[in-house]
Amino acid sequence: MQLKVLALPGDGIGTEVTAEGIRVLRHVAKKFKHDLVLTEGLLGGIAIHKTGSPYPAETERLALEADATVMGAFGLPEFDNAPPAMRPEKGLLGIRKTLGVYANLRPVKAYDALIDSSPLKNHLLKGVDMIIVRELTGGLYYGTPRGITGVGDEERGTNTMTYTRMEIARITRMAFHLARKRRKKVTSVDKSNVLETSQLWRKVVLEIAPEFPDVQLDHLLVDNAAMQLVLKPSQFDILVMENMFGDILSDEGSVITGSIGMLPSASIGAQLPSGAWVGLYEPVHGSAPDIAGKGIANPLALIMSGVMMLRHLHEDTAADKIKNAYNAVLE
């Protein structure tokens, strides 16, 4: 069969880890006699340099044509003082939003081989195996009004956290469906003691739960969730939360496993009019400009993002092969 994959290496270590991931995919494609058609596109800082835009229209076109898109990392220090609309990260947020991939799955799993690299005591890592399901196309990242207005003491920065019932319901159903294939436990994270968006979030989650009577549901406030993640991470199976909470807690989750360089992710949920599913596969880590170009970046998160891609394309045998090699490398 033919697999059309778009690679968007991006900035910093993004190019290095993407190159390694592509080597692995090419090798597996050859082994399984798949016709891997690989295209490379521009997104992020490199796209600003070459086209003036962090998310060129051509990149969107290529992503819509591909069976899947593998992405590296985005962000460069030279843009640190640029306004949000002119930053490399805008490219990443743009492609997530226009493709409509509202569900970002971030699996956090402890491996014996890395147990001593974790900042947590060894015994806490036993049985750690969760997926952080992060809502990806709503909330503070996209809400309006936003911006900086006024001058002097009245200069004001504004962002808006907003969610509709539809946005909460679809990510909740995604979380419950995933839980059904695992330990059948969903923990919904919110801040319903303070935020109206969180009150609606909890209400909608509670309304949907009876559709999945075989799955156990509980709720945690986000501050408590941050604490529970280091206190007893093995208690979690599926965690579901809004965009920014998911951004923050997934960095915390990643380092529990020993290195932020270990966490892959899959951004899914969107279907094209043709019926095809759209998927973006990217590591959770950033562009790490401080170590870029030194050949020391850990490519495993990207390689495992490739494994998540193969599973979503129902190429489980190929995915298993890479997974076995990955385990051997870690050992």
Question: How buried is 258 (Cβ within 10 angstroms: 0-12 exposed, 13-18 middle, 19+ buried)?
Answer: buried
Name the minimum Å distance from CB 73 to ligand IPM: 7
> What letter represents residue 3's amino acid?
L
Name the minimum Å distance from CB 237 to ligand IPM: 21
Choosing among ligand IPM, Mg ion, none, which partner's interface includes residue 289 (Cβ < 5 to 8 Å by kind)?
none
Instruction: Pick from 16, 67, 242, 247 the residue near Mg ion by CB under 5 A.
Output: 247
Are 11 and 71 contacting, i.e. CB atoms less than 8 angstroms apart?
no
Here the tokens at position 302 are: 């990207």
The helix (H) or strand (E) run that includes residue 270 is strand 266-271
Name the minimum Å distance from CB 128 to ligand IPM: 20
Q: Which stretch binds Mg ion (CB under 5 A): 14-22, 61-69, 158-166, 246-254?
A: 246-254
Q: Can the peptide bond before residue 145 be classed as cis, meaning omega within 30 degrees of 0?
A: yes
Instruction: Pick from 92, 95, 266, 303 the residue near ligand IPM by CB under 6 A.
Output: 92
Instruction: Pick from 89, 167, 190, 315 the residue near ligand IPM by CB under 6 A.
Output: 89
Could you give the residue numbers annotated as active site? 141, 191, 223, 247, 251
Name the minimum Å distance from CB 263 to ligand IPM: 9
Please give the residue whose beta carbon sits closest to Mg ion in the complex: 247
Are 320 and 326 contacting, i.e. CB atoms less than 8 angstroms apart?
no
Is 131 in a helix, a strand, or coil? strand
Instruction: Pick from 29, 34, 45, 74 the residue near ligand IPM by CB under 6 A.
Output: 74
Choosing among Mg ion, ligand IPM, none, which partner's interface includes residue 167 (Cβ < 5 to 8 Å by kind)?
none
Restricting to residues 270-299, name those near ligand IPM by CB under 6 A. Answer: 284, 286
Whose Cβ is closer to ligand IPM: residue 45's or residue 315's?
A: 45
Beta-strand ranges (E) seen in 86-165 are: 103-109, 129-135, 147-149, 156-158
DSSP 1-68: -EEEEEEEEESTHHHHHHHHHHHHHHHHHHHTT-EEEEEE---SHHHHHHHS-SS-HHHHHHHHHSSE
Restricting to residues 230-259, name those near ligand IPM by CB under 6 A. Answer: 247
Name the minimum Å distance from CB 267 to ligand IPM: 9
Choosing among Mg ion, ligand IPM, none, which partner's interface includes residue 74 (Cβ < 5 to 8 Å by kind)?
ligand IPM
Bridge-based pairing of strands 35-40 and 2-10 is parallel
Distance CA 25, CA 97 (A): 26
Binding to Mg ion by residue 282, rule CB under 5 A? no
Enumerate binding residues for ligand IPM (CB under 6 A): 74-75, 89, 92, 247, 284, 286
